[in-house]
């Protein structure tokens, strides 16, 4: 469904993504992991068109996305740090985004608005919201337009345990509908629950792209965090 | 909460009722073709929808209100001080040529940097970057032009209605559009807010003072040669000078401007001259804007 072809991105002299090739299929639930600064967020932003790659192609269903905009109507994106206009209220924000996307969505999915009880603070301005509340708003926006592709950048980082569970349940539900889900997180236990494939990114290159089960059996570990820890150790020893 | 849900309901209904064309192959395919109801976004309406939010946001900013009040006070003051409307327009011209480019530049640059979150949010939505930038541009232009029409247009209509007043108003609107466009360019040239504002100030300084000094130096150096074409070219290269000449020529004071003045008078009193001036002004509006869009399309957010 999504194909990255020879994607490179440098900011000035630092190379963030280096000749990266990747193909993601429909119905997959993929975890994107790697150390800080390995290019996870940049990769996601390239897909969205927020960052323009230095070279390479990104295709969704064979259609080039770079410089295009319509593909974004099929992506739900939850940013790592959701930044919103200060003076707008939560309700105004939702109304605005709905109005802006009016032509490109078919179905509204407002389940999360109810399960997060957004209506409780719908008249607060975005400025006055706490980090966790903002995360909830970001999550609602990502799921709201029933997209085929869901991209969540550190979704559970600022959420309390209950909200985190709500989000995970929602994600699982969407996964059963055959959507493509891409999650970055440092909380590996969350990822183990939600994803079936792992992409390990380091210094802008893909170290491996494997099934969770495969990883576990290769390293002889019982859970994902141990398996990843083992791999990271091996990597350090090599370099 | 009920209100909220009602609104949602309405939107849903509108969506189902509203007819639209089916999206092209760019859209991803759903499993069942009958569920494909996505529509190609009608860009113009999208721009208008965004514009609404930008304008509402600018209205919350008191700067435009102060600008309007300042213009009103200055115009009323100048016209009531000098009994002669021509003199009033001439003094007003000098103030407007100084203030409106400055305010357009600084206000637009600051506004653009401050709406970074808004721009970032919209960039992740199915909207062309171009549309986002246009919404900012038109929002700024419309609000500043409304300020000009109220603050300048009303006093002009009351005290000195006529061709000169009209040309002053039109010219200042044109200047505002050109300088908002330059401001967006300056804001996109650098990521740092302080530097961006510095750059706008520099642009203003250049067009208001430095350019004129250079022009005088050149004219002084070539004082023995015929200067018509050179003067005309140099005037065209600075929107503020162009604006000044257009209005002054409506005031019948060109006799004070010597032989070149007579030539300019001759040119601008014909339709050809007006067409030329409008053309040059249009270039000053469009060129920086096009460049800004180019930069914005390549911008990493």
**Chain B environment of A1 (Cβ under 8 Å):** 28
Nearest-Cα residue of chain B relative to residue A11: B300
Per-residue pLDDT, B156: 93
Task: Say if strands A197-202 and A55-60 run parallel, antiparallel, or are unpaired.
Answer: unpaired
Is A122 within 8 Å of B15 when comparing Cβ atoms? no
The reported pLDDT for the residue numbered B257 is 66
In a domain, B14, yes or no: no
- Would residue B118 count as lying in a domain? yes
- The encoded tokens of residue B200 equal 């706008």
Poorest-confidence range of A141-145, A188-192, A193-197, A235-239?
A235-239
Lowest pLDDT segment from A25-34, B83-92, B110-119, B267-276:
B267-276
DSSP state of A120: G
Return the structure tokens found at B278: 């409008």
Burial of B257 per CB tally in 10 Å (0-12, 13-18, 19+): middle
pLDDT single digits (tens) B217-265 = 988 888 888 777 888 888 889 999 999 888 888 877 666 666 667 777 7
Is B156 inside a domain boundary? Answer: yes
| Domain housing B60 | 42-298
How many domains is chain B partitioned into structurally?
1
Q: With an 8 Å Cβ cutoff, are B301 and A73 in contact?
A: no
A 10 A CB-CB count for B274 gives: 14
Burial A106-133 (b: 16+ CB within 10 A, else e): eebbebbbebbebeebbeebbeebeeeb
Q: Is residue B199 one of the residues assigned to a domain?
A: yes
Above 0.90 for ipTM, yes or no?
A: no
Alpha-carbon dihedral angle through residues A29, A35, A37, A39, given to the nearest 10 degrees:
-30
Chain A residues in contact with B46 (beta carbon < 8 A): 100, 103
Residue B28 lies in a domain: no
Instruction: Kindly tell me if the per-residue pLDDT of B28 is higher than 80.
Output: no
Q: With a cut of 60, say whether residue A221 has pLDDT above it.
A: yes
pLDDT at position B43 is: 59
SS3 A182: strand
> Is residue B288 a part of any domain in this protein?
yes
Question: Taking CB atoms and an 8 Å cutoff, what residues of chain A touch B33?
Answer: none
Q: What are phi and psi of A2, to 5 degrees?
A: -115, 130
- Flag whether B5 is in a domain: no
Of all residues in chain A, the one with the smallest CA distance to B18 is A103
More confident residue, B219 or B27: B219
Q: Which string of DSSP letters, residue by residue, matches A10-42?
A: EETTEEEEEEEEEEE-TT-EEEEE-STTSSHHH
A106:B50 CB<8 A: no
CATH topology of domain A2-238: Rossmann fold (3.40.50)
Judged by CB atoms closer than 8 Å, whether chains meet at B300 and A48 is answered as: no
Percent of chain B residues topping a pLDDT of 70: 82
Name the residue facing A95 among B7, B20, B25 (closest C-beta): B7
Contact B26 A71 (CB under 8 A): yes
Q: Contacts of residue B128 in chain A, CB cutoff 8 Å?
A: 69
Q: Is the pLDDT of residue B181 over 90?
A: yes
- Name every chain B residue with its beta carbon within 8 A of the beta carbon of A63: 25-26
Contacts for B120 with CB less than 8 Å, ≥ 6 apart: A50, A83, B301
CA distance B87 to B82: 7
Say yes or no for a CB contact (<8 Å) between B57 and A60: no
């Amino acid at each position: 469904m999504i194909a990255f072809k020879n994607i490179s991105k440098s900011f000035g002299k630092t190379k963030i993504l280096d000749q990266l090739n990747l193909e993601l299929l429909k119905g997959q639930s993929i975890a994107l992991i790697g150390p800080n600064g390995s290019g996870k967020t940049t990769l996601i932003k390239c897909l969205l068109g927020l960052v323009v790659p230095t070279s390479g192609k990104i295709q969704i269903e064979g259609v080039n996305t770079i410089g295009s905009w319509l593909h974004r109507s099929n992506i739900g994106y939850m940013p790592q740090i959701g930044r919103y206009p200060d003076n707008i209220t939560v309700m105004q924000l939702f109304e605005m985004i709905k109005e802006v996307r009016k032509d490109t969505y078919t179905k509204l999915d407002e389940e999360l608005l109810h399960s997060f009880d957004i209506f409780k603070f719908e008249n607060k301005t975005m400025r006055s919201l706490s980090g966790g509340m903002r995360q909830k708003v970001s999550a609602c926006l990502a799921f709201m337009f029933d997209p085929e592709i869901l991209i969540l950048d550190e979704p559970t980082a600022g959420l309390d345990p209950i909200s985190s569970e709500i989000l995970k349940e929602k994600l699982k539900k969407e996964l059963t509908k055959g959507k493509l889900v891409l999650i970055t997180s440092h909380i590996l236990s969350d990822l183990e629950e939600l994803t079936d494939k792992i992409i390990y990114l380091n210094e802008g290159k893909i170290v491996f792209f494997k099934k969770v089960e495969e990883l576990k059996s290769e390293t002889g570990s019982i859970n994902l965090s141990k398996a990843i820890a083992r791999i990271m150790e091996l990597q350090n020893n090599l370099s | 909460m009920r209100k909220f849900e009602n609104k949602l309901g309405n939107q849903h209904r509108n969506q189902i009722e509203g007819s639209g064309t089916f999206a092209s192959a760019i859209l991803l395919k759903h499993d069942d073709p009958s569920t494909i109801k996505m529509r190609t976004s009608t860009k113009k309406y999208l721009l208008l929808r965004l514009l609404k939010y930008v304008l509402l946001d600018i209205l919350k900013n008191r700067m435009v209100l102060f600008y309007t009040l300042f213009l009103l006070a200055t115009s009323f003051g100048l016209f009531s001080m000098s009994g002669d409307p021509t003199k009033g327009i001439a003094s007003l011209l000098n103030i407007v040529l100084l203030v409106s480019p400055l305010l357009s530049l600084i206000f637009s640059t600051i506004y653009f940097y401050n709406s970074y979150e808004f721009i970032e949010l919209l960039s992740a939505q199915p909207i062309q970057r171009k549309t986002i930038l246009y919404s900012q541009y038109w929002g700024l232009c419309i609000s500043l032009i409304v300020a000009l029409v109220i603050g300048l247009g009303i006093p002009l209509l009351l005290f000195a209605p006529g061709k000169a007043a009209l040309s002053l108003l039109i010219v200042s609107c044109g200047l505002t559009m050109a300088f908002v466009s330059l401001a967006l360019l300056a804001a996109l040239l650098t990521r740092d807010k302080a530097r961006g504002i510095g750059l706008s100030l520099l642009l203003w300084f250049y067009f208001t003072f430095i350019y004129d000094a250079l022009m005088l130096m050149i004219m002084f150096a070539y004082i023995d040669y015929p200067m018509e074409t050179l003067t005309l070219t140099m005037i065209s290269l600075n929107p503020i000078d162009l604006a000044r000449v257009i209005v002054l020529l409506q005031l019948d004071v060109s006799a004070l401007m010597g032989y070149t003045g007579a030539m300019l008078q001759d040119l601008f009193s014909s339709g050809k001259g007006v067409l030329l001036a409008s053309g040059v002004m249009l270039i000053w509006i469009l060129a920086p804007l096009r460049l800004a869009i180019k930069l914005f399309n390549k911008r990493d957010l």
